[in-house]
Structure 1
Amino acid sequence: MSEQSILPDYAAIVSDFIEQSCPMFFTNTDSHEVKLTQLQVSAELKKLNAEQKAKLTLYCMDLLCARKDFTSNDLANGDLLARGREDYSTKMYIPTYASFIRKAAINRSPQLGPAVITQYLLKYLLKLKLTLSNEELIILFESAKQLVPCDGGEKSPTIYAGDWAIKRIINQLSSNIKTNGLSDEIIEFINNYLSWRYFKTNGKAILAMKAQLFGLVNEGGSAMPLFELADDDVIADTIKNLIKVAAPPERDMLYRMLELSSGAKAGKPTAAFLEKSKGIIETNKDFFRESMHKILKQLCDAEPIEEAGDDGYTYHIFIDGDNIPIIKGLVWSSVQFHDETMIDLLTKLAEKSFKKIPGQGPMCVIVGNACLYTLANSKGLHGISQLSRLKYFIKQTNAKKIIDSYLQEEAEKRGIKAYEIEEIAVPDFGLQLGSREDEFDGYKLQLNLVSPGKTSLQWLTPEGKAQKTKPALIAKSKKLSDKLKTVQETNKQIQKFSSAQKERIDRCYVEDRVWDYETFREYYIDHGLVGPIAAKLIWNFSNGDQWEAAMLIDSEWLAADGSAISPPDRSTKVQLWHPISCTETEIVQWRARVNELEIRQPFKQAYREVYLLTDAEVITKSYSNRMAAHLLKQRQFKGITAGRSWKYSLINEYYHGSVARPACLRVPAYHLTAEFGINEVYVEDGNEPDGVNRYISTDQVKFIKDDGEVLDLVDVPDLVFSEIMRDVDLFVGVCSVGNDPEWSDTGVEQFSNYWEGYSFGDLNEMAKTRKSVLEMLVPKLKIRDQLRFDGKFLRVQGKLREYKIHIGSSNILMEPNDQYLCIVPSRASETKADKMYLPFEGDRGLSLVLSKAVLLADDHKIKDSTIISQISREN
C-alpha cells in the first residue's frame, strides 16, 4: 500500500482523535464519557494495520521532535515543512494534519497547543502492538532523547515526555524481541544508550527503565539493580570492570550489593541493612571479599581527580558525591570479614579519607567514618588496635571523638577502661624485643625497630653475613616475592604503630595511670613492639608509700646511681616517672645517667620541662598570661594542637571576633578542661585563598571543671598544670612567626617588633632545656673549640665571621654589627644533626641549632650563593 493510499486513513484518525480528545482533555466530564471517548479513538486506530500504526507513531514522534515550541500558526503557514524527516516523508502528512490541529486549537480550546494533542495521540499509539523494524526502534529511542530536559538543548521541551515515552518504547522493544529475537545491532545500540546521561540519575522510574532495558539485551536476562554509578571519580572504573568480568551469578550478587549500598544514607547501618547485606554476601563470600580487597586497594592507591569549577577554583574529587553512599554501604558490609588484609585496607582508607586537601578539607569524611565503624565492629582486637593507632594520627577533632566513643564502647563490653583496651589491642607483629627474622630459602631478612617510627631491614646470607641487596632467588619465585611484600607491609605497620605507642605513653601523664607490675610487664616491658620503647623510659615503683625510680638496664631495674632497686613483685605498683615529683639533684642525676648510657628516649622525660606556678599567676588567680600576646601561624597551630589531642576550630574571614575560639583539651582523669585563648588578627591580605586567617594571637590559659566552674590555678594538680603549660609552650614555640627566618623580608611590617623580640628575646622553658642539652653535647663535638655560650646565644667562630645562634628560635645574628643572617633549613642539614647522639626524640629546634652551628663553623666551605652573599655583605 502506497503512502498516498493510506493518507486519508491517517487524516480521518487524526481528525476524529482531535474532535474526541479536546473536550475530554480540557473539560470536566465524568469517567463514563472519558472511557467512551477512549474506546472510540481505539476503535478508529484499529482500522489501521500494525505497519500503518507504526508509521503514524513515527510521524507523531517526528512532529514533537521537529520543533519543541511549534504553534498552530506554524502549522498553518507550513513552517514545519522544512523540519520534517526525509526518511519517513512526513512532509506529505503535515498539511492535512495541521489543518485539523489548527481547527481544534482555535475552535475547541484555544489554550490547547498542537504539541499537547500530538503527545496525547502518541501515548495511545505506543500502547498498541506495533510492527517496528530495528531501524524504527532506534529512531524512536533516539527521538525520545529530545523529549527530556537534560538533552533539550538551549530550550527545555514543551512536552516532558521522557519517562512515559521511553517506558513504552522499551515495551515495544520487548514485544519485538519476543517475535523476532535479539539482533547484534539492537544489543550494541542499547548498551550505548544505557550510558546516556538521562540514566545517570537515581530516580526510581528512570532506574527501573534502565534495569528493564539491561535485562532485555543481556544474556540470561540478568537484572540491573536500581542504582547508578557516577563516572567522575577514582573508583567507578574499578567497580565496572569487576562487574564486566564476573560470571552471571557473581555479577548479580554485585548488582544486589551495589543497589543495597546505594541507599546507605544514615550515619550508621541499620540492623536490617546488615542482615540484607549478610544474606547477599553469603551466596559467595570469597568472591565478595576479593572484590572488596580490589575496591579498597584502588581507593587507597588512587589520587584525587582535579576538576576546574565554574567559579574559577580547582577542585579535587576523590569519590563522587553520588558514589559516596555506595562506597559507604560496601565498607559497612565488610564488617563480616576480619582477615588482616581487609582490616589493614580499611585502616588505610580511613587514614586517606581524613587526609586534608589544602583549601578544600578532608578527602571524604563520610567514607572515613564508615571505615571507623567497620574497624570498631570487626571481630577480635585487630580493628580496635588500628583505631587506637589512628587516634594519634588523624587530625580531625570529630573523627577523634568518634574513635574515642568506639574505644569506650569496646572497653565497657569487657568491663575495663578505654586506655586499657588500647593497651591490650597493640599487636606485637612477631617481634621479640623489637626484632624479628623471616627466612627465604636459607637467606634471612632481619627487621629491627630502631626507634619509634624508624626500622631497619638487613639481609643475611645462609652463612650469616650481611648482604645489602635482596637475594636473586626472590625475583624468580612468586611465593618468595609475595612473602617479601608481606614483610615489607608489616615493616610499614611497625613504623606506624611504634609512633602511635610513643604518643600514647606520653599522654599517660594526664591520664593518672598506675599499673600493677604483672600487667605492666605483659603489655609494656615484655611486649615485642612496646618493650623497646618502654625500656628507654624511667619508671616509678612502689610497694607502699614510697616510690623508687629506675630504668631497665641489662634486664635489671637500676636507679640513677646504678644501684638495683627492690625487686618488683605482684604487689608492686608502677607509674611513669615525671621530673615534677623530684628534686633538682635527682633530675640532674637522671640526665647524667641517660647521657652516660647514650640512651635516646622516645620523648622528653629526663629532660622534660617543668612548669610551676609563678607569683604573677597566683595574683591573677584563675588564669595565666604566661603564653599570651604571641603571633602564631594559624594552620600550623591547628595541625599541632590536633596532634596533641586538643580541639580547635579555624578562624576565617567571616568570623570577625563574633565568638571566642579557644583551643581546648579535655582531661577526663581530673574532670576538667584546659582552655588556651585565641584571638583573631586583622592583617591586610591576611587570609588564605579559602578565607582562613593566616595569623592568630594568643591569650589566657584557664582550667574549667566539668560543672563549668573556672578553677583557681592553685587548685590545679601540679602535674596537670605543668603538662598543659608545656603543651601550650610547644604550640607557641613551633607556630610563632618569630621562628620564621624569612619573616624580616616577607612578614607583616606591623609585627616586626614582635618578630625581633621573639627571635632574639629571653629563652622560654623549652629553650632552657635545649640549652642544657647543648651544654652537654658541645664538648663532644669536633667543632667544640669554635663554640661558646653567651646567655641566650650559641656563638660560632667561623673562618669569615662570628655568629650568634639564638637557642630558642635558631635565628642568627652576625658580628660585629648584629646583621641578620637568613638560612632556610633543609632536610639534609637536619639529617646531619640527627646522626649525633641526642638524649630524646622530637626536638626539631635542637637539630636546627646544631646543624647551623656545624654549617657556620666551616663558613668558608659554604656553596649556597644566597648565604654567601649575606655573609660577604657589609652593613
Structure 2
Amino acid sequence: MFGKKLFKIRKTLKPVELTRDFPALVDELLREVEPRIYTEHSLSNPYKLECDAYTKLKSVPAAQKPDLLIYLLDIFTYWESKALLVRAKNDCLQMHSEEKKCLILEWLQIKFAQTRMSFAPGKFRELCDQIAKVKNQWNAGELFGLTVIQLKAMGKREGLSEELKYEIASVLKALKALFFYADDWKAEAHLCQLISSKHVTAPFSFGNDRISQILTTFLQEQPKNEQNYWQQFFNLCSITKTLTPSSSWLKDATRLLNAIGWDKFQKTTNSWIAMVSQLDVLSEFRPLDEEDPEQLSAYLNFIEPKLFSILQGICWSQVLFADTNTQTVLTQLAEKCFRSLPATGPCAGPVGNAAIFALANSDTFSSLLSLASLKSYIKQRKTQKLIDTYVQRETEKYGLSLSEIEERAVPDFGLVEGKRIEVFSGFNFVITYSNTGRVKTHWIGSEGKTQHNPPGFVAQDPILSRKFNHASDLVNQIRQASEIQKERISNLTQQHMSWSLAELEKLYINHGLICSLARNLIWLIEDKPVLWVSGQWQQVDGKDVIFSAHARIQLWRPED
C-alpha cells in the first residue's frame, strides 16, 4: 500500500524543467537538512534528506541531470574551500556549518550520478572539468566513474553522436591533467571502448612506471594498423571485472590475435611475462596524505595496480598456446606474484591467479605438472587449494591420482645430490640441503677457505649483487619447498602408494631436493624393510636385498 501511495504522489509532482530553479531548491534543501546533521555518518540514513526540495530535485529529467550536477559541483567547490579554512582555524572534532554543507552536497552528487542521464553536446566535458576542481581526489574519482557509467548506458540506449565521440576523445587526452585518483583507469577504459577506432584513436593511457614505459615504447615502434589492434587488446583487458575470462572475452581476444599474428603475439607477450617475473620489488616513498604531500610513507611496489588487468588479460590469452616456453614463463610469473610483502601480502595476487588459470586450461600434461609444481613455491593456503582443485579436475584425463601428479611436479631447484654451487669470480656460494631437512649455505674461496658471509666485492658489483639476491631468493624457495615436501611425504603413509624401482629412484632416491629426505626413510620391498645405503638397497640388518625386477616398493609404516 505504501509503495502505491508513494507512486501516486510522485506521479502528481510537477517536474523541475528549468535550470534557474536549481539554486532556490538547493538552498532550501541545505536549510532544511543541515540541522539534522551531527556527524559524518548522519547521512547513512537516507530519510535525513527527505524534504520537498529533494523530492523536486529527484524529478529532474535525464537531459538536465548534467546541469544539476554541474551546479552542485560548483557550489560544492566553494563550500569545500571554506570548510578547509574553518577546519584549519577551529577544533577539528566539531562539525561546522561549512562541513555539513559539503557533506550534504557530496551525498547529493553521488546520489544523482547514479541515476539516468543524457548528455547534450559539450555537457560531458563541462561536467568533467567541474569534477576536476574537487580537491578530494577519492570523491572526484568516484563521481567521474559513475558519470562514465551513465554515459555508457546512454550509448546503449540512444547511441553516441560523432560530436560526443570527439568530446570523449578530448576528455581522454586531458584525463591526466583532470584527475589524479588511483582507480580512474577503469572509467578511462570504458571511455576508450565507447569510441570507434574508425573515427577517433582511443589509446590506453599508460603511466610512468617501468612496465608502462616498456609497453609504450613497444607500441610506438609498431605500424599504425598494428598499434590499433594492440590498443584494442589493452582496452579489452582493462575493462574486465571477472576473475576468469568469459567465452566472449576469449572470442574477442582470438579475433585480435588473428589480426596481430599468432606467432608475433606469442613471442611478444612471452617476453613481457618473462620480463615482469624478473623485476625486483622496489621501495618507494609516496605522500601519505594528498593534503600534505611533504608527509611521506614507504611503499613497496612490484606492479602498479593499474596494470593488473592488462597483465591478467595477457596471461589469459596464453590459454591459446601450449608450448613449453609459455608454460615456463607463466610458472615463473605465478611464483613471483605470490611472494609475500611485509604488511601487504602477495605482490600481485590477481596476476598470479590469471597465470594459474592459463596453466590449468592449457590442456597439456606438461602444463599440469607446471601447475602442480607451484605448490612448492606458494604458501598461501587458499591458492594451494585452488591449485588442488584445478589439478584434481585434470587427473582423470591422465589416469593418475592427485598425489601421483604432485610427486612428478616437485622441482629440484638445480640441486644435485642435495647440493648446488653458484660461482662468483673465484668464490663458490654453496647451497646444501642436509639429510635433516635443513638448508645451509657457505662460501668457499679460491684457497679453499670456508666463510659464512659473502665477499666484499659482491655488494660493490651491481651484476654480482643482483645474482646474489637471486641466489638468496632460491635459498628461501628451497626452505619453503622443503616444508611442503616434508608434509607431503608424511601423508604418503596413509595413502598406500607403491612404485616400481625405476620410479622410486627417479622421483625420490635420486631427486635433487627429496633425495636427502628419502634416503633416510625405511621402505618395503616384497614385505622386507630396506634402506638406501651407499648407493644400494640393504635390509635393516645390513644384508643385501634380492628382489624381482617387477617388485613394487612401498613406504614402511610403523604398523607394518
TM-score by length of 1: 0.39
Unaligned runs of 5+ in 2: 1-17, 25-58, 68-120, 290-299
Give the counterpart of 2:336 among 326, 329, 348. 348
In the TM superposition, residue 504 of structure 1 has moved relative to its aligned partner by 1.4
The one-letter code sitting in structure 1 at the alignment partner of 2:254 is E
Residue type of the alignment partner of 1:259: N
- For 1:563 and 1:199, the matched residues in 2 are separated by 72
| CA shift for structure 1 position 207 | 2.8
Equivalents in 2 of 1:112, 1:536: separation in Å? 80
SS at match of 1:551: strand
- Match among 224, 227, 231 for residue 202 of structure 2: 224
Q: Structure 2: which amino acid aligns with 1:553? A: V
Q: Residue 551 of structure 1 corresponds to which residue in structure 2?
A: 531
Q: Distance in 1 between matches of 2:188 and 2:457?
A: 57
2:326 alignment counterpart? 338
Asked which structure has the greater RCO (Cα within 8 Å, sep 6+), the reply is 2
Shift of 1:406: 2.9
SS for the counterpart of 2:559 is helix
SS of 2:414's partner is coil
C-alpha distance in 1 between matches for 2:23 and 2:164: 30
1:570 maps onto 2:542 in alignment = no
Sort the Cα spacing of 1:363 and 1:347 in 2 relative to 1 into closer, same or farther, 3 A.
closer
Give me the CA root mean square deviation. Answer: 5.6
Distance 2:356 2:273 in 1: 16
- The SS at the match of 1:283 is helix
Which residue in 2 is equivalent to 1:259? 235
Q: Secondary structure at the match of 2:513?
A: coil
1:121-520 to 2 correspondences below 5 Å? 144-146=125-127, 168=163, 171=166, 190=174, 192=176, 195=179, 200-202=185-187, 206-208=191-193, 223-225=201-203, 237-249=209-221, 255-264=231-240, 265=242, 267-268=244-245, 270=247, 272=251, 275-276=254-255, 278-279=257-258, 280=260, 282-283=263-264, 285=266, 287-295=268-276, 325-334=309-318, 336=321, 337-338=325-326, 340=328, 342-350=330-338, 352=340, 367-377=351-361, 381=366, 384-385=369-370, 387-390=372-375, 394-396=379-381, 399-450=383-434, 454-471=438-455, 483-520=467-504
Task: Quote the Cα distance in structure 2 between the aligned partners of 1:537 and 1:558.
Answer: 12
How far does the alpha carbon of each residue in 1:604-631 deviate from its partner, in whole angstroms, 9 at most, with x for none? xxxxxxxxxxxxxxxxxxxxxxxxxxxx
- 1:525 and 1:255 map into 2 onto residues whose CA distance is 52
Q: Secondary structure at the match of 1:373?
A: helix
Q: d(CA) in 1 for partners of 2:478 and 2:180? A: 48
Larger Rg: 1
The aligned amino acid for 1:349 is: C
Distance 1:508 1:415, change over 3 A: same
Q: 2:19 aligns with which of 69, 77, 93?
A: 69
Q: CA deviation at 1:449?
A: 0.6
**Distance in 2 (alpha carbons) for counterparts of 1:449 and 1:468:** 16
Q: Distance in 2 between matches of 1:172 and 1:272?
A: 30
CA distance in 2, matches of 1:253, 1:302: 35
Cα distance in 2, alignment partners of residues 553 and 73 from structure 1: 92
Instruction: Show the 5 A alignment for 1:702-741.
Output: none
For residues 683-694 of structure 1, what are the structure 2 equivalents within 5 Å?
A: none
Q: Distance in 1 between matches of 2:429 and 2:467?
A: 11
The answer to whether the 8 A contact 1:381-1:425 is kept is no
Task: Report the alpha carbon displacement of residue 516 of structure 1 after superposing the two structures with TM.
Answer: 2.0
- The alignment partner of 2:487 has SS state of helix
CA 1:580–1:208 in structure 2 vs 1: closer, same or farther (change >3 Å)?
closer
Q: For the Cα contact (< 8 Å) 1:146–1:152, is it kept in 2?
A: no
Q: Give per-residue Cα distances to partners, 1:319-359, cap 9 Å, x unaligned.
A: 99987644422222355543745422212324559x9979x
CA separation in 1, counterparts of 2:456 and 2:275?
29
CA-to-aligned-CA distance 1:654-679 (integer Å, 9 cap, x gap): xxxxxxxxxxxxxxxxxxxxxxxxxx
CA distance in 2, matches of 1:307, 1:510: 53
Q: Contact 1:517–1:568 at 8 Å: present in 2 too?
A: no
Q: CA deviation at 1:534?
A: 0.4
Contact 2:269 2:314 in 1 (8 A): no
Q: Distance in 1 between matches of 2:22 and 2:377?
A: 73
* 3-state SS of paired residue (1:146): helix
Which stretch of the first structure deviates more once superposed, 418-427 or 199-208?
199-208
Task: Read off the aligned partner of 1:507 and give its amino acid letter.
Answer: N
Kept in 2, the 8 Å contact 1:539–1:575? The answer is yes
TM-fit CA distance, 1:402: 3.4
Q: Is the 8 A contact 1:389 1:497 kept in 2?
A: no
1:272 maps to amino acid: K
Q: Given residue 70 of structure 1, which amino acid in structure 2 is its aligned partner?
A: R
In 1, Cα distance between equivalents of 2:190 and 2:264: 28
Give the 3-state SS of the residue equivalent to 2:20 in structure 1.
Answer: coil
The alpha-carbon deviation at position 515 of structure 1 amounts to 1.6
TM-score by length of 2: 0.57
- Contact 1:346–1:375, Cα closer than 8 Å, also in 2: no
Within 1, Cα distance between the matches of 2:472 and 2:334?
A: 18
Aligned partners of 1:443 and 1:462 also within 8 Å: yes
Distance 2:220 2:128 in 1: 34
Question: Aligned equivalents of 1:331 and 1:451: distance in 2?
Answer: 39
Deviations 1:404-441 (A, max 9, x none): 24323554444433322222222323322101333345
Q: Distance in 1 between matches of 2:436 and 2:246?
A: 37
Asked if 2 retains the 8 angstrom alpha-carbon contact of 1:558 and 1:564, the reply is yes
1:56-95 equivalence runs, <5 A: 69-71=19-21
Q: 1:526 to 1:194 in 2, by over 3 A?
A: same
**What are the superposed Cα offsets for residues 106-162 of structure 1, whole Å, 9 maximum, x if unpaired?**
xxxxx999x97x99xxxxxxxxxxxxxxxxxxxx979942388967989x9xx9998
Q: Where does 1:43-62 land on structure 2 (aligned, <5 Å)?
A: none
Give 1:228 shift.
7.4
User: Any idea what SS the aligned residue of 2:326 has?
Assistant: coil
- Contact 1:445–1:459 (8 Å) recurs in 2: yes
AA aligned to 1:551 is L
Shift in alpha-carbon separation, 1:570–1:257, aligned structure 2, 3 A:
farther
Deviation of the 1:447 alpha carbon? 1.8
Distance across 2 between alignment mates of 1:555 and 1:167: 79
Q: Which has the higher helix share?
A: 2
Deviations 1:760-802 (A, max 9, x none): xxxxxxxxxxxxxxxxxxxxxxxxxxxxxxxxxxxxxxxxxxx
CA shift in 2, pair 1:392/1:574, >3 Å:
farther
1:187-226 superposed Cα distances (whole Å, 9 cap, x missing partner): 998464574879755488733567889x97xxxxxx334x
Taking structure 1 as reference, are residues 188 and 417 closer, same or farther at Cα in structure 2, changes over 3 Å only? Answer: closer
Supply the distance in 2 between the matched residues of 1:493 and 1:278 (Cα, whole angstroms).
Answer: 36
Q: Is the 8 A contact 1:446 1:460 kept in 2?
A: yes
